[in-house]
């Protein structure tokens, strides 16, 4: 079945990996995170790829890894915050999956980015005021791409597992529609 994959898109810190993992577990599906697939494939971390090959190099590898990942069926896949915004990646995803945009405010995105242990070269080293400004600016450029996803779920700051379960139920409900 061509559209049996589920892909979570959205800005850095929206909760794609956290909710994707929980969603996959609750649906008995395999979970993949595109950044982890990229790291496996290259044997390098995301910051290393950015440092050695620049963002352009990273986007090429990301695109290649995405097209191979969506060749599978029955996955829950969390992609990177930039993935839908380069090449025709959003079309590729919409062809091969039901796509869900996890929409969150700049404040929630910042809280999640600060909470998590993930190293993100695009926001590394920014002060709080620089970070919120960067998020506001790049989110407004990226939203037209995110809004091309098939479904949208609004996410508030996640601080406990109960909220994760609540969002998983919400995503499952929306996918039934
Ligand atoms: C990026 C988001 C990151 C990762 C890379 C670039 C972006 O993924 O792909 O650092 O351009 O927004 P997360 O959204 O999982 O942090």
Ligand 1 centre to CA of 26 (Å) is 25
Ligand 1 centre to CA of 33 (Å) is 11
Ligand 1 atom nearest the C-alpha of 34 is 9
> In this structure, which residue's CA is closest to atom 8 in ligand 1?
80
3-state SS, one letter per residue, for 32-59: EEHHHHHHHHHCCCHHHHHHHHHHHHHH
Would you give per-residue pLDDT tens digits along the chain (177 residues)? 457 999 999 999 999 999 999 999 999 999 999 999 999 999 999 999 999 999 999 999 999 999 999 999 999 999 999 999 999 999 999 999 999 999 999 999 999 999 977 899 999 999 999 999 999 999 999 999 999 999 999 999 999 999 999 999 999 999 997
Q: In this structure, how many other beta carbons lie within 10 angstroms of the beta carbon of residue 114? A: 11
pTM: predicted TM-score of the whole model, two decimal places: 0.97
Residues in a beta bridge with 31: 76
Write down the pLDDT at residue 3: 74
> In this structure, which residue's CA is closest to atom 16 in ligand 1?
12
Write down the pLDDT at residue 95: 96
Cα 100 off chain centre by:
10
């Amino acid at each position: 079945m061509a559209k049996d994959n589920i892909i979570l898109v959205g800005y850095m810190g929206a909760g794609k990996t956290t909710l994707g993992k929980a969603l996959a577990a609750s649906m008995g599906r395999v979970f993949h995170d595109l950044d982890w697939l990229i790291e496996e494939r290259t044997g390098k971390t995301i910051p290393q790829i950015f440092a050695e090959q620049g963002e352009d190099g990273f986007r090429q590898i990301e695109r290649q890894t995405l097209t191979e990942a969506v060749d599978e069926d029955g996955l829950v896949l969390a992609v990177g915050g930039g993935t839908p915004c380069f090449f025709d990646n959003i079309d590729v995803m919409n062809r091969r999956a039901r796509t869900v945009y996890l929409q969150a405010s700049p404040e929630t995105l910042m809280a999640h980015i600060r909470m998590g242990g993930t190293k993100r070269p695009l926001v590394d080293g920014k002060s709080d005021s620089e970070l919120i400004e960067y998020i506001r600016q790049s989110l407004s450029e990226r939203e037209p791409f995110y809004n091309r996803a098939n479904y949208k779920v609004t996410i508030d700051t996640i601080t406990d597992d109960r909220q994760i379960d609540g969002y998983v139920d919400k995503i499952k409900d929306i996918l039934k529609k």
